[in-house]
Amino acid sequence: MNHRPARTASVSRQTAETKIELTVSLDGSGQHDIQTGLGFLDHMLAALARHSGFDLSLNCVGDLEVDDHHTVEDCAIVLGQAIDQALGERKGIRRFSHAYAPLDESLVRVVLDLSGRPGAWIDLPFRTERLGIVATENLVHFFRSMAMTLRATVHVDCLRSDNDHHLAEAAFKAMAIALRMAVARTGMDDIPSTKGVL
C-alpha cells in the first residue's frame, strides 16, 4: 500500500499589526474554523475552504481600530505560506489549473500555475468601496499577497458582474476550485517542470 504523507502546515505570524495562527490541510473535506474579526472576510475564506476541500483553521487578531488592510493582507500572506509549506517540493501535483465560478449574474475565471514564480494579474472591477467593513481594494490585494507567498502565477478575471458581493464571492470560489485542481495528486512522483524544480 502506497502511503502518502499528509500535506498539512501550520504557520504563526505576529507583527505590531496582526497576530495570526493558521493551519491548513490540503487533503481535507472543506472543514473550517475562521475568525478574523471581519465578517465578510470570514465569509470569503469559508467559501475558499469549502470549495477547495482544504481544512482551514485561522485565527487573526488585527488592528481593526486602524482599518481592515493589515488583517486582510496578513491573512493572505499566511495562507499562501501555509499552502506553500504543505506542498513541500511540489512533487506529483497537477500544477496548472483553471476554473470558472458563477454567482448569479457574476462570472469569474481564475487561471493558476504553482510555478514557484510569484505574480498576480487581478481584474475585479468593484463598483463600491466596501463590502461590510472590508475595503474592496483590499480583496484585490488579498489575491496579490497570497500569490506572492504561495509562489504562484495567478490570473483572476471578471467576465461579467453587476453586484460586488457576487463578484467577490465568485472570485473566491473560482480560486478555491483552481487551487483544488492545481494541488491534486497525479499519481506521479516527479516535479512537474522541465527544470526539475518549482
Model confidence pLDDT, tens digit, residues 77-96? 999 999 999 999 999 999 99
pTM (2 d.p.) = 0.95
For 25-74, the pLDDT digits (tens) are 999 999 999 999 999 999 999 999 999 999 999 999 999 999 999 999 99
Classify residue 21: in a domain, yes or no: yes
Number of domains forming the structure of the chain: 1
Classify residue 56: in a domain, yes or no: yes
Is 110 in contact with 175 (CB distance < 8 Å)? yes
Classify residue 58: in a domain, yes or no: yes
Is 156 in contact with 174 (CB distance < 8 Å)? yes
Q: How confident is the model at residue 195 (pLDDT cuts 50, 70, 90)?
A: confident
Q: What is the pLDDT of residue 3?
A: 64
Instruction: Give the residue-averaged pLDDT of 105-131.
Output: 98
Classify residue 1: in a domain, yes or no: no
CATH at residue 38: 3.30.230.40
Classify residue 192: in a domain, yes or no: no
**Residue with C-alpha cell 481535507?**
28
Classify residue 96: in a domain, yes or no: yes
Q: What is the pLDDT of residue 147?
A: 98
Structural domain harbouring 168: 8-182
Average pLDDT score, the chain: 95
Q: How confident is the model at residue 1 (pLDDT cuts 50, 70, 90)?
A: very low
CA-nearest of 185, 171, 145 to 51 is 171
Assigned C-alpha cell, 61: 487578531
